[in-house]
A and B are shown apart, each in its own frame.
Chain A
Amino acid sequence: MKNRTTVERKSERETVVTRTFNAPARIVFEAWTKPELFKKWWLPKSMGMTLIACEMDVRTGGTYRLVFGQGMEFFGRYTEVTPHSRLVWINEEGGDNGSVTTVTFEEEGGKTLLVVSELYNSKEALDAAGTGAADALVETFQQLDELLVTLGAS
């Protein structure tokens, strides 16, 4: 059974996503901080995009850089790294419109509650983030649904 993903728009500039994972925080944190693991899930296959580079220097002040085959590039800086509990980074590719992402890992009874909060500089920046990449996603999700039906995937 899949755990439920909840999405909340906290304010005009902030979104919060929560999800529980059936594993200790140590493991979930590892999947967020090791590039070879991170790249397995950050770009869902359904996006039809590929990561050609994924560099992550996960420590306070360290930088990251994600390069997509389609010529897009995301980069930024980690401003807080607390093993197994908290991760904060600033997206710098958008210049002044960069957002701050805060991820917290809360372990309870061997499970981990993950909270991802994205804070944008303005409502406009948040709206733009939603309509850009995510717009393309909807189409590819539909394709994925069809594909999954074909494959009989569970």
Chain B
Amino acid sequence: MVQYLDAGLDASFAALSDATRRGVLEQLGRAEASISDLAEKFNMTLTGMKKHVGVLERAGLVRTEKVGRVRTCKIGPRRLEEEMAWLDRYRQLWEARFDELDKVVEELKRKGQVDGRKKRE
């Protein structure tokens, strides 16, 4: 889990270390936009904007979809708080299960010591 979070956070922080990219995220938070819309708004070439969007996309902060000849950008699937909360709930479920499983296993171990001889016959 730590590795996963670290890798994810590294990508997120790298993506967010650039003012233009932060601006793009802010912009997309308000409304989706095409790459050329964004390039125009941020006074950049199309190629330059594509690179920024690519970095954001790899970090999961933005997702893009090509419809016809236009690539539309939206806020991505990655929402750190949501992910952490999800993992937390998931862990709680399994911890609870495994605590019960511990009891079952202990019981089997005790029984095994008693029944072991019978089974081997």
Contact = CB atoms under 8 A, between A and B. Distances in A.
A and B together in one complex: yes
A70 interface: no
Interface residues of A, number: 39
A15 B83 CA distance: 12
Given A12-B77, A44-B97, A7 B90 contact: yes
A28 B101 CA distance: 8
Contacts of B112: 27
B102 A5 contact: no
- What bracket does the count of chain B residues touching chain A fall in? 20 to 34
B86 A130 contact: yes
Contacts, number: 94
Interface in B68-95: 77, 83, 86-87, 89-95
Given A41-B98, A42-B97, A116-B94, 7 more contacts: A9-B83, A27-B108, A27-B112, A40-B103, A130-B90, A135-B89, A138-B92
B86 A23 contact: no
B109 interface: yes
A135 B45 CA distance: 46
A6 interface: yes
